[in-house]
């Protein structure tokens, strides 16, 4: 394949946007989630935009920066739904603290029925990898 | 929830089985993949049981041990398909080498149509987290 598959381009654009919003003001992430959206953050599960954003806002840091090291993507069955699985590995710098933390995160993106260029997060799983 | 959701029990049983087979004889993993199965291993993509197992068998180690540290799971839309997203973080010990490598892996499992208790791997994404 000479050019990037469409799902990889979507994944990279989504991840760039998601972490830019997260790092600027994570209370603004709710529009990227829907009622059936699920987040499992360090083993704690919650569902729906309100609960998910409440969880993210409650995390014990003020400033945060996500540095994406790798971003892999695959299309998800059935093709009619056009879901995309995104797997990010990267570094997390919090509150200007020294050594970055390593994280891994999975997003399962679904296209907006009324705007197939826009995607929302159906599944979201996050883990820190302690050194 | 007092008892574990069904998808978590499936995920844990699958992961235990998958790594037991991998660590004993990874050439035997092909029955867990189907023609549409996709593997992205350290950024290299391949498709179908034959190509996937060929990739896994070609990895440059003889002995390997996967140690699962965390195993998270979520159900995947649409519910009618009963897919399960599994997110593993763990340690990889290769060829009795000293310091384990950290890895993260995502599986998207689909139930066998003829035996809904059995699952195959539709999506598989693997990354080592270098220290």
Percent of chain A, pLDDT > 70? 96
pLDDT at B83 over 70: yes
Rounded average pLDDT over A74-79: 83
Say whether A72 and B43 touch across the interface (CB within 8 A): yes
A34 touches chain B (CB under 8 A): no
Nearest-angstrom CA–CA distance, A66 and A1:
29
Cα distance between residue A49 and residue B5, in whole Å: 21
A106 touches chain B (CB under 8 A): yes
How much of chain A is in helix, strand and coil states, percent to nearest 5?
A: 30, 50, 20
Residue B40 forms contact with A (CB below 8 Å): yes
A43 touches chain B (CB under 8 A): yes
Average pLDDT of the residues in A5-33: 96
- State pLDDT tens for residues B114-127: 888 899 999 999 99
The pLDDT mean for chain A works out to: 92
The answer to whether residues A85 and A108 touch, using CB atoms and an 8 Å cutoff, is: yes
ipTM of the complex: 0.93
CB atoms within 10 A of CB B114: 6
Query: What single-letter DSSP state applies at residue B21?
Result: H
What span, in angstroms and rounded, lies between the C-alpha atoms of A101 and A95? Answer: 12
B93 prior amide bond cis, ω within 30: no
B88 vs B11: CA distance, rounded Å: 10
Put simply, the answer to whether A72 touches B125 (Cβ < 8 Å) is: yes
CB contact, 8 Å: B3 with chain A? Answer: no
Burial (CB count within 10 angstroms: exposed 0-12, middle 13-18, buried 19+), residue A94: middle
CA distance B72 to A125: 8
> If you average pLDDT over residues A2-21, what whole number do you get?
90
Q: Is the pLDDT of residue B15 over 70?
A: yes
Q: Is B81 on the interface with A (CB under 8 A)?
A: yes
* Domain boundaries B6-129, CATH class: alpha beta
Predicted pLDDT of residue A27:
96
Neighbours of A101 (CB within 10 A): 14
Mean pLDDT value across residues A64-89: 91
Which residue is closest to A41 within chain B, CA to CA? B72
pLDDT of residue B2: 45
User: Would residue B96 be called left, alpha or beta, if left means φ above 0 and alpha means ψ between -120 and 50 degrees?
Assistant: left
Q: What is the pLDDT of residues B27-67, one digit of tens each?
A: 999 999 999 999 999 999 999 999 999 999 999 888 999 99
Q: CB–CB of A127 and B87 under 8 A?
A: yes
Distance CA B56, CA B39 (A): 10
Q: Hey, is A64 helix, strand or coil?
A: strand
CB pairs under 8 A between A and B: 81
Name residues whose C-beta falls within 8 Å of residue B54's C-beta, 6 or more positions apart in sequence. Answer: B46
| Pairwise pLDDT comparison (A60 vs A73), residue with the higher score | A73
C-alpha–C-alpha distance, residues A44 and A38, integer Å: 10
CA distance A66 to A56: 14
pLDDT of residue B3: 67
**Tens-place pLDDT, residues B96-107:** 777 899 999 999
- pLDDT of A63 > 90? The answer is yes
């Amino acid at each position: 394949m000479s050019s990037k598959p469409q799902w990889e381009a979507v994944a990279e654009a989504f991840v760039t946007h998601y972490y830019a919003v997260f790092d600027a003001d994570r209370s603004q992430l709710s529009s990227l989630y829907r009622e059936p959206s699920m987040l499992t953050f360090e083993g704690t599960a919650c569902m729906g935009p309100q609960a998910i954003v409440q969880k993210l806002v409650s995390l014990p840091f003020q400033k945060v920066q996500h540095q994406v090291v790798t971003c892999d993507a695959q299309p998800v069955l059935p093709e009619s739904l056009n879901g995309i699985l995104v797997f990010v590995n990267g570094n997390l710098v919090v509150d200007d603290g020294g050594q970055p933390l390593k994280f891994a995160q999975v997003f399962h993106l679904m296209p907006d029925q009324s705007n197939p260029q826009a995607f929302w997060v159906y599944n979201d799983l996050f883990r820190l990898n302690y050194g």
